[in-house]
Structure 1
């Protein structure tokens, strides 16, 4: 691939970052980017990311290190919510700096401590190559380990959302799932998702895209005009309009 910047392609652990993404020393991800392909060992065997991910929603999250307290609770939280992610059609994958054997032993330890099964893969990044290429190390937070970064990636392999947490604050698995379901709802309906939305809540007409006549034609009495710029579409009407 001539337009790719290959980082260590001759090794078992590699990543391809398009040259157009490399605005500085590391890739600076943007919403809408195709997520780079990479290959690495995981707790479920060798992973070629694009082959594994394409065609489904992906939640990819980074961890500073194995055998650390916050990372352990996050792994357990995601494992506990695995059925909810599966119902939403989301595949989960972790990325942890460290050797594959250490990552595998840590996952087994988390399963033992919490009495659960971790069915999603956790990728090992022994020398931090993947983490540096993905921009996961923020020197002003900690020059020696990754932040807690999350990528939500759609079935076309495009980055749809990113969440950055510092090393010493754990993430909310429930918020991650809510964000993915909000993106899916926006895609299905062409509508906007309001603050604090939960599945089943009403939606909003996108600014500048839907005049009153168009909303009447699409939703009948299933929408409410609160102002010229705030128009609420009831969820049942939005779902019916897709039939």
Structure 2
């Protein structure tokens, strides 16, 4: 269930950009049929992998699964995807559990016709005309795209960084502030710089931790 009007905000190739409404879809998964819009009200990480029964993808799924409770306590839903069939997905998650002892608790989309992968620009023809690359899309509770990242085929994702990014997005959305490089929860955040000369002069007197008039931090 995909409509052309749902691509409003992206380009004609189906490329998803930050700030646009995530295109809705309905798909078969290892947990039954799902509709993306059913996740409205929750943060979502939609991510793709090139293929089941492959080394890098297996390590990623193990780590996503081990960290599942951390995502859950943040109200974040995980939704995986590849163009492998449903039976392949089921066999793979069973194999993962058998050989690593880790249960995969989130659904995996069986995107055999590649509709979802193409809708979200997960297939990069320079790499493959069939298999998706490692893509990550973070969606907020309104289904607005907040982050998009693509990884090379041979580079496994850093789950720590995805968790850190989520925590930063939560703070930015709630407090209307920014986070500096390498920010971790509990550290000072950045405040918006002043937009007038008078404001720049006053900023240094306002009690913030300022390096200069446009670079000031505060504790939440």
Q: TM-score, normalised by structure 2?
A: 0.91
SS of residue matched to 1:94: strand
Match of 1:33 in 2: 20
Q: Equivalent residue for 1:135?
A: 121
Matched, 1:116 2:102: yes
Task: Give secondary structure in 2 for the equivalent of 1:185.
Answer: helix
* CA distance, structure 1, for counterparts of residue 7 and residue 48 of structure 2: 23
Residue number among 123, 137, 148 corresponding to 2:134 in the alignment = 148
Residues 44 and 78 in structure 2, CA contact (< 8 A), matched pair in contact too: yes
1:6 alignment partner in structure 2? none
Which consecutive residues of structure 1, in runs of 5 or more, have no partner in the other structure?
1-13, 239-243
Change (3 A) 1:193 1:42: same
Which of 66, 89, 109 is equivalent to 1:80? Answer: 66
Measure, in 1, the Cα distance between the counterparts of 2:87 and 2:125. Answer: 27
Matched, 1:50 2:37: yes
Q: Secondary structure at the match of 1:37?
A: coil
Runs (4+) of structure 1 exceeding 2 A deviation are: 14-24, 141-144, 207-216
Shift in Å, 1:154: 0.1
Equivalent pair of 2:25/2:36 in contact (CA under 8 Å)? yes
Corresponding residue number in structure 1 for 2:111: 125
CA RMSD for the aligned pairs?
2.0
- Change in CA separation of 1:209 and 1:230 when aligned onto 2, cut-off 3 Å: same
Which piece of structure 1 moves more, 122-131 or 179-188? 122-131
1:141 and 1:176 map into 2 onto residues whose CA distance is: 24
Cα separation, 1, equivalents of 2:120 and 2:30? 20
2-structure distance, mates of 1:90, 1:142: 30
State the 1:86 CA deviation: 1.3
Q: Is the 8 A contact 1:141 1:166 kept in 2?
A: no
CA shift digits 1:97-126 (9 cap, x unpaired): 111111111111112221022111111101
Cα displacement string for residues 125-150 of structure 1 (whole angstroms, at most 9, x for unaligned residues): 01222111211111122333111010
